[in-house]
Amino acid sequence: MANLLVTHAHLVTMVNGRYGAIADGALYVKDGHIAWLGPMSDLPRAGHDGAERIDAKGALVTPGLVDCHTHLVYAGSRAREMEMRLAGRTYAEIAKAGGGIASTMAATRAATNAQLRAASARRLQALMEEGVTTVEIKSGYGGTVEDELRCLRIAKSLAADHAVSISTTLLGAHALPPEYKDRVDEYVDLVCTHMIPRAAKEGLATAVDGFCESIAFDATQMRKVFEAARRHGLRVKLHADQLSDCGGAALAAEFEALSADHLEYANDEGLAALAKAGSVAVILPGAYYYLREKRPPPIDAIRAHELKMAVATDCNPGTSPTTSLLTMANMACVLFGLSVEEALAGVTCHAAAALGLADRGVLDHGFRADIAIWDAAEPAELVAGIGGMRPRSVIFEGRQRK
């Protein structure tokens, strides 16, 4: 593996969620990891002979971005639902009428593997073009054992021809398939006794997620799912308290979840429990914006409990149809009041923590050399606009991405 030396860079390290800026810095990459970084004046004269060199010429250099919550693998369109919401229909009403996740489930089941992979690859490429080097991809639009597992296989297969790291999550408890109408507990049993064991045995997922909400699965049902995940050695995540206070934050904390996501209606006790459990609060402004919600996540309480905050696209066909992580960082600042530093931590180090990945999201000795180089003079430029900047160059596992 070729070594790499980046010089004259404005390094934004994001160690401990802080800028940690080095105005005129350098970093040396060896065997895919950062072997040295610091001020140019301290750069050793020897030890990097033969390395590929990049003169950043004062450009901003950050960790590669991490999108820790996406639903990239799906088929079909739900654009019509936007018109329905503009006409006054709620998310819950659309779902109960057969729209929402159920409609995507039908389209995904009907799609071929090739069709699903091609559509997912286009979305993944859009994320990568904005400097993303790690992406979490959930299943959730299959609703049968085989369809959920094939969506995970497709997600994992994308890493073979894309210079990006993919973390896969089984989201079998996303929505009740139509064939299980009035048989919720029977479907939950299917998730627990067939989906989770198969996903674990075949190495298709590292975590199990669920949608804990009045229109999906209640806390008792999700507890069964999490207990099954624990039995099979998988970590958990949770769509928690998005539309109402269902006790999702407390449930996630009970199982030491990697993250609890959305959290608009999370109560203070639940947030305190998440902090004690070491979970990450994942903020998803795209869904808040697209659903025209009025209640933002309790950011001040999240700060008070010193919870790590991540920011993600929640890329999905119905409630957050976006592939711009930097736009989500902008919206987290404008809509929810995050500082630029909090937003950048949310798409780098804290997003990595939400996936249980302690080797990335930071520029420091020993970390993976996933790096983005930006034609920007200061960090605020990355989130100041809507539409997302494009990096000048991306380094993935120590190599320049072509």
Task: Render pLDDT for 31-65 as a digit per residue (tens, 0 to 9).
Answer: 999 999 999 999 998 888 889 999 999 999 999 99
What is the rounded CA–CA span in Å between residue 372 and residue 240? 31
Overall average pLDDT of the 155-183 stretch = 97
For helices 145-157 and 113-128, angle between their N-to-C axes, nearest 10 degrees:
40
Question: What would the DSSP string read from start to end of 119-160?
Answer: HHHHHHHHHHTTTEEEEEEE--S--SHHHHHHHHHHHHHGGG
Q: What is the pLDDT of residues 118-145, one digit of tens each?
A: 999 999 999 999 999 999 999 999 999 9
- Whole-number pLDDT of residue 189: 98
What is the rounded CA–CA span in Å between residue 323 and residue 305? 30
Overall average pLDDT of the 308-312 stretch = 99
Say if residue 191's pLDDT is above 80: yes
Return the C-alpha torsion angle 64, 65, 69, 70, nearest 10: -90
Say if residue 366's pLDDT is above 70: yes
Whole-prediction pTM: 0.96
CA atoms within 13 A on the CB side of 134: 28
Q: Which CATH superfamily is domain 65-354 in?
A: Metal-dependent hydrolases (3.20.20.140)
Q: What is the pLDDT of residues 60-119, one digit of tens each?
A: 999 999 999 999 999 998 888 888 888 888 877 887 777 788 889 999 999 999 999 999
Say if residue 260's pLDDT is above 80: yes
- Which uninterrupted H or E stretch holds 167? strand 165-173
Q: What is the pLDDT of residues 226-247, one digit of tens each?
A: 999 999 999 999 999 999 999 9
- Whole-number pLDDT of residue 6: 97
For helices 101-110 and 145-157, angle between their N-to-C axes, nearest 10 degrees:
80
Which of 264-268, 291-295, 365-369 has the least mean pLDDT? 291-295
- Which uninterrupted H or E stretch holds 283? strand 280-283
Topology annotation, domain 4-63+362-400: Urease, subunit C; domain 1 (2.30.40)
Average pLDDT of every residue of the chain: 96
* pLDDT tier at 1, thresholds 50, 70, 90: low
Residue ranges per structural domain of the chain? 4-63+362-400, 65-354
| % residues pLDDT > 70 (the chain) | 100
What separation in angstroms does the CA of 232 have from each of 202, 251, 276? Answer: 11, 19, 24
Question: What would the DSSP string read from start to end of 334-392?
Answer: HHH---HHHHHHHTTHHHHHHTT-TTSSS-STTSB--EEEES-SSTHHHHSSSS----S
